[in-house]
Amino acid sequence: MGDHYLNMNFLVDRSTTSNNVCIFVKYLTTIILKMIKKLDDMFEVLKAQEKKRLVAAFANDSHTISAVSEAIDLGLVTGTLVGDELTIAKTCELEGIDMAKFTIVHEPDEMKAATKAVALINDGKGNLLMKGLVSTDKYMRAILNKETGLMNPGAVLSHVTVIENANYHKLLIVGDVAIIPAPEIKEKIAIVKYLIQVARSLGIKEPKVAIIGATEQVSIKMVSTTDAAIISKMADRGQIQGGFVDGPLALDVAIDKESAEIKKISGKVAGDADCLVFPNIETGNVFYKTNTKLAQSELGAIVMGARVPAVLSSRGDSTKTKLYSIALAALVAK
């Protein structure tokens, strides 16, 4: 990737008109976006963009502070930590982190810290939100608050995960695995749109979205299959844009070309999906944990649907997972 930067900079530096510069910059951006095939590739893309401003809610733990610190060091974001200043200072000292790189907003109460972090976003002091040591229910309560939160009327909040599995030939963008227990068709449509948005932020020009079911056959006894068929037809007619959508597709058909050929399922999505939409939280969560625990996959995860992307990693997630999540949120953020 470094060679691309050097070659394009050489050309840009020697351009004699602003028009040529714009053309070269656009071309450079296209090259970079095409190269996001691994989660690490996000870092290089972000370094070429204006830094986003991250606000972390109740950022008292070492994993959150270390991840934000590393993201700052990599030139991806600027960071505001909302939490107990003394605890943050002690953690920085133990981790060997220069506390001066952060903006610190002192708030020792967990719920108040989450509310304050959201308020900073609403005040225009941040482009993305991150969950620290605050519990998920309090974090979500701060986001969902009708008066002071981050939701527009009618918006659907959904969890999007980008998985790097060594056994698949590209990144997989999946949802919902953590927020919506049993999505109805309106929510599934929102999930499809979020997955397409995230995929396009990763440089996938026309993402291939598979709506997962137990079978490819449409059966009125299985709501997941009828929902999938309706959403697929909506996409065919242009009601959902930005990617190819097909379903219902069983998981094997969605991600394995040989299975698709054996079952005689054709189309742009079958065997080569970029995105997977799960029928319920059980299937999504099992897929997520199978990838992380049995396949040792790397991942980044964000919440979509609020006015800014929000990092919702587990308090037990590694610093690397949180760093990837920060990078993903920064890519998606306006």
Q: Which amino acid is at 310?
A: A
Percent of the chain whose pLDDT exceeds 70: 89
Task: For 200-232, write each residue's pLDDT tens digit.
Answer: 999 999 999 999 999 999 999 999 999 999 999
Q: Average pLDDT for residues 182-211, to the nearest whole number?
A: 97
Residue 300 within any structural domain of the chain: no
Q: Average pLDDT for residues 105-115, to the nearest whole number?
A: 97
Residue 301 within any structural domain of the chain: no
* Structure tokens, 33: 């976006």
In sequence order, the 6+-apart residues with CB closer than 8 A to the CB of 142 are 57, 111, 114, 115, 117, 118, 148, 149
Task: For 82-100, write each residue's pLDDT tens digit.
Answer: 999 999 999 999 999 999 9
Same domain flag for 181 and 194: yes
CATH of the domain at 163: 3.40.718.10
Residue 23 within any structural domain of the chain: yes
Same domain flag for 24 and 42: no
In sequence order, the 6+-apart residues with CB closer than 8 A to the CB of 295 are 165, 166, 167
Is residue 1 scored above 60 in pLDDT? no
In sequence order, the 6+-apart residues with CB closer than 8 A to the CB of 93 are 99
Q: Which amino acid is at 203?
A: G
pLDDT of 334 reads 83
Residue 59 within any structural domain of the chain: yes
Enumerate the β-bridge partners of residue 209: 245, 275
pLDDT of 19 reads 55
Same domain flag for 272 and 221: yes
- The 10 Å Cβ neighbour count of residue 82 is 30
Same domain flag for 84 and 212: no
pLDDT of 129 reads 97
Residue 282 within any structural domain of the chain: yes
Mark 96-130 as b/e (b = at least 16 C-beta within 10 Å).
ebebeebebbebeebbebbbbbbbbbeeeebbbbb
Same domain flag for 193 and 252: yes
- Residue-number span of the structural domain to which 191 is assigned: 158-294
Task: Please choose, from the candidates 114, 121, 130, the residue with its C-alpha nearest in 3D space to the C-alpha of residue 65.
Answer: 130
Task: For 224-254, write each residue's pLDDT tens digit.
Answer: 999 999 999 999 999 999 999 999 999 999 9
Task: Tell me the average pLDDT of the chain.
Answer: 90
Enumerate the β-bridge partners of residue 299: 163
